[in-house]
Amino acid sequence: MLESEDPKFRVLTLKKQRQSAYALADWTVHTDNLRVFEVAKEIVRAWTVLSTQTSAYDNDSDLASIVNTSTGVYPIWVGRGILHQLGERIRALVSAPVAYIVSDEAVHDHARQAQRSLEASGIPSHLFFVPKGETSKTLETAKLVYGWLADLRAERRHVIVAMGGGVVGDLAGLVAATNLRGMPFVQVPTTLLAMMDASIGGKVAVDLPQGKNLVGAFYQPCFVLSDVETLVTLPKRELTSGWAEAIKHGLILDRKLFEKFEIESEHITSLNPDIATDMIRRSVAIKAGVVSADEKETKGVRILLNYGHTIGHALESTSGYSKFLHGEAVSVGMMGAAEIGCLVGSLTEQDVSRQRSALIKYGLPVNLESVDADEMLRAMKSDKKTSGGAIRWVLLDGIGKAETNHNVPEDYVRDALSKLIY
């Protein structure tokens, strides 16, 4: 099949013809830089994961996915009105005699509901509230939680429950990973952004003045339980922010999911009980699949989830984490990445327009009042995703397919940033 004057063109043509069939696969083994034996191991691991997914939780309609990691497998549940199940889930999967709930002040009522569920299951629990917002994601706050756990004589077999948004999940997860050299923990996200992104995959961290998430670890939860009903009380701006990560999953890996976001925007944004829950569950499953395929971002798969994050993180850090919510920054970042994709020839102007229109439908920002390109570039180059001083860009090769590019000229970045200004 490769007998051609231009074998590379032939390969690309065949791939384009077959991509719709490839997209139906339950698992993809990325063979780049792998030896034959390593490819075989990945195939066996895929078989193991898929077998687990079809047996242990057969009749669980709230199950979004099973995440497979080097330390084991864990389920992710997404449903409506399932918070009351927290205690019995911990009793069944973790067997912890005591629970410590780390939450933020904005979800006080949900945290109390979780505590009642734990107590009803015979698990004594304690509550620690941190101030809402990114400013709580620091080593100083972590030190306060360590002290609280020490005062309560926490033990390694006790469980930490992270309940709230991504800040709480990251903070409590880092504490769980390091307190007593590791305690089990459970993620109970109450924001859309945390359900879609931060609660899945085991990335736990705190910020430093020099950048976001610079002190952290990979530490997987025992399970993730997302109750969509908690989103009803979420401030509109935070709910809107969360759709950025969901739409991103469609843009990078699932064209049909993105098209569904385009078509069903009114039902989804109004949290239609069936449609919105299903879309959240489908988006969560994409993130879970990527994490299973590349737990620690060593195989070039998980980095695709960073679409929009290079510019997004720079916007957050240069504004002191006070101007943008994370999803808002990622939305603008995705538009910047789309403009770069157009400049390098991997994305059409029509695709850029479709992405922009979709983000606007969900009330997400796509422009900036102004931008200091030099300051932004400095922030991007200090990001942990750089390699050898080069920025590892995630760009779209058409809607539904992402790829990495380490060779984007700085002029293209400056040009893309200038196009974001209105």
> Alpha-carbon distance 393 to 377, whole Å?
13
**Does 126 qualify as catalytic in the annotation?**
no
Residue 288 CA: distances (Å) to CA of 67, 224, 293, 302: 6, 11, 9, 10
* 3-state SS assignment for residue 99: strand
DSSP-assigned letter for residue 121: T
> Alpha-carbon distance 297 to 304, whole Å?
9
326, 328, 356, 401: the catalytic one is 326
245, 295, 328, 339: the catalytic one is 245
Two tokens, residue 248? 């991103």
89, 126, 137, 203: the catalytic one is 203
**Does 326 qualify as catalytic in the annotation?**
yes
**Does 110 qualify as catalytic in the annotation?**
no
* Alpha helix (H) residue ranges in 83-231: 86-93, 108-120, 139-151, 166-178, 192-193
* Cβ 104 vs Cβ 167: under 8 Å: yes
**Does 302 qualify as catalytic in the annotation?**
yes
**Does 181 qualify as catalytic in the annotation?**
yes
DSSP letter string, 316-385: HHHTTTSS--HHHHHHHHHHHHHHHHHHHTSS-HHHHHHHHHHHHHTT----BS---HHHHHHHHHTSTT
DSSP-assigned letter for residue 84: G
**Does 249 qualify as catalytic in the annotation?**
no
Two tokens, residue 394? 């995630």
Q: What is the largest CA-CA distance in the chain?
A: 73
CB-facing half-sphere around the CA of 50: CA atoms within 13 A: 11
Name the packing angle between helices 326-344 and 349-361 (round to 10°).
Answer: 170
42, 134, 238, 297: the catalytic one is 297
3, 181, 236, 407: the catalytic one is 181
80, 158, 249, 287: the catalytic one is 287
80, 110, 281, 313: the catalytic one is 313
**Does 245 qualify as catalytic in the annotation?**
yes
Two tokens, residue 84? 């009351």
* Cβ 105 vs Cβ 131: under 8 Å: yes
**Does 313 qualify as catalytic in the annotation?**
yes
137, 281, 306, 356: the catalytic one is 306
SS (H, E, C) 19-60: HHHHCCCCCCCCCCCCCHHHHHHHHHHHHHHHHHHCCCCCCC
302, 328, 339, 356: the catalytic one is 302
For the chain, the residue count is 422
* Cβ 295 vs Cβ 304: under 8 Å: no
Active site residues: 181, 203, 245, 287, 297, 302, 306, 309, 313, 326
